[in-house]
Structure 1
Amino acid sequence: MSLQAKLDAFKADFEAGKPPYNVPASVIEIMHRATAELIASGAAGNALKAGDTAPSFILNDPDGAPVSSSELLAKGPLVLSFYRGVWCPYCNMELQALDAALPAFRRLGANLIAISPQTAVNSRRSVRQNNLDFPILSDVHNDIAAAFGLRFIMPDYLVQLYTSLKNDLPSFNGDDSWTLPMPGRFVIGQDGVILYAEVNPDYTRRPEPEDMLPALRKAAQSISG
């Protein structure tokens, strides 16, 4: 089953209020409103695209060790996924799918990392629960997400909903700004140029891991050539 098919199946059960979710229709309506408004805002159009130069960064892994994008790119292409957090089931399913595709990425010489605003302890939890073989780096205040054009401020009514559901992002992230990254997936070549970019303001929609393979093959050919 494809990643999107799994996400669609989960969404259907979740929005139907099937156990164990039992989510009221009013909550679903608010989530739909927030997604529709983010789409209508055109924010995704501000995100970096293929052909743009990716910003360099140094972020800490879950154990507090610094990870440099420049050092990773010196070894090969980089697959980069922006991850909202351990609380997001759609994001966790995406990470699992990326992990399953990791051997294919590595055969093409690429590294894979995820970037999240959540704290290190929550990233360790994400790695453990999803059985990941790649790191989740901590992007405090979503600064790197902003550099890629992904950061957005949650509307007040959505903050109120999250608070009522005890989805306390300030605690998850160690930051009270109530910002999130739009889900984004990038392939960056060794020269720092983005070869593939997919950003969707609808967090229930994610590209397939296989969609990045043509860009990674192109990067591998440029290395060997």
Structure 2
Amino acid sequence: FKELPPYLCKLDVTFQKECHCEGKDNRIPLLKEVFEAFPQTPVNIDIKVNNSVLIKKVSELVREYKREHLTVWGNVNYEVVSKCLKENADIPIIFCSQRVLLLLGLFYTGLLPFIPFKEEFLEIPMPSIILKLKEPEKMTRSQKFIIWLADTLLMRKALFDHLTARGIQVYIWVLNEEQEYKRAFDLGATGVMTDYPTKLKEFLHNYP
């Protein structure tokens, strides 16, 4: 850990075009330090690599700090999520990409109400934000169509309402504009992930 390089003092904001953030605190914190600094704050953990030792260590930390009810973990990879569930079934898991496709298939065929799920969190992007991150005039018609189709299939109020009624929370990422916040909550999302938490807090204060 000591050999890891520090964060850069200036970083581009991935989901905000031509924007960057600056700061002096560039040390990468340990997960236990995050748990100690924010004992009552829910934490979302993305297990980035398929490593059983890593999954076990994260599980041990969650148990040590008694944070099963405040932690959700997983990855886009099905095998990683399966290992997480097997290692510690008390920590809620997210839908991996494969299971998101299954979810959509069941939704559009009308079978979703009859199929149980172990996942408790759906965390998906809002595809339409890709258009603001790239230069639309340089995108092909097929690329624009794929983005439109993905957005149309994923951003469905009926789907979000159904999942919410089943106790499955829905989070959309990464949204940084007020119109994006509004669209997400109007669709019935439980919450959103953002690079600007203060901006989101101000929006929620005025959101009906």
TM-score (norm 2): 0.28
Kindly indicate whether structure 1 or structure 2 has the higher relative contact order, using CA contacts under 8 Å at least 6 residues apart: 1
Larger Rg: 2
TM-score (norm 1): 0.27
